[in-house]
Amino acid sequence: METAEKLAEIYGCDKYKAQLAGLLHDCGKLKDDRELLKKAFEFGIILDDIEDVNIALLHGPLGAEIAKSEFGIKDLEILNAIRYHTTGRENMNLLEKIIYIADCIEPNRDFPCVKTLRELAFSDLDKAILTAMGNTIKYVVDNGWILDIETIKARNFLIKKYKDNKVHRL
């Protein structure tokens, strides 16, 4: 939540929404897979081919449903930031980007290049997201796991945006 709040200040995003989405982003992270699947079924969440294999990805969509039903969140921006905080998606709005990267760089994270990623997040949000997604994709591929299509689409969208706008080369 605190990381999301700091990023919101820097990028001119609604701080209250960032705080709330940051606080609730993992409310769908349940203790075991059986409980996660049971809750998803109760909310009528249909698993796609990726979530069927990687159940951990289900906590984003489930978290959005829990935020809505149990915490009374009705704001679609907040719900989508929770829903896509793990995978990202094409054409993310500012709040979605902030929650995505805040989750990647929160203070308890410890992985190679997290320090660099933290610095980048506070200077170039899109480039930080591209770097994080590239690292995630490489990690998933190196482990022989299935890639989430939303992450690939999100990364491709950002790369195309940079290329089309000729902002700078990645």
Give the pLDDT confidence score for residue 53 in this predicted structure.
64
Whether the CB-CB separation of 125 and 98 falls below 8 Å is answered with yes
Helix (H) / strand (E) containing 11? helix 2-11
Domain extents in the chain? 2-165
Local confidence pLDDT in tens for the 170 residues of the chain: 999 999 999 999 999 999 999 999 999 987 787 887 888 888 888 777 666 667 778 889 999 999 999 999 999 999 999 999 999 999 999 999 999 999 999 999 998 889 999 999 999 999 999 999 999 999 999 999 888 999 999 999 999 987 766 544 44
| Rounded-to-integer distance, Cα 157 and Cα 152, Å | 8
Alpha-carbon Rg for the chain in angstroms: 16
pTM: 0.90
pLDDT tens string 24-70 = 999 998 778 788 788 888 888 877 766 666 777 888 999 999 999 99
For domain 2-165, give the fold. Hypothetical protein af1432 (1.10.3210)
| Rounded-to-integer distance, Cα 147 and Cα 157, Å | 16
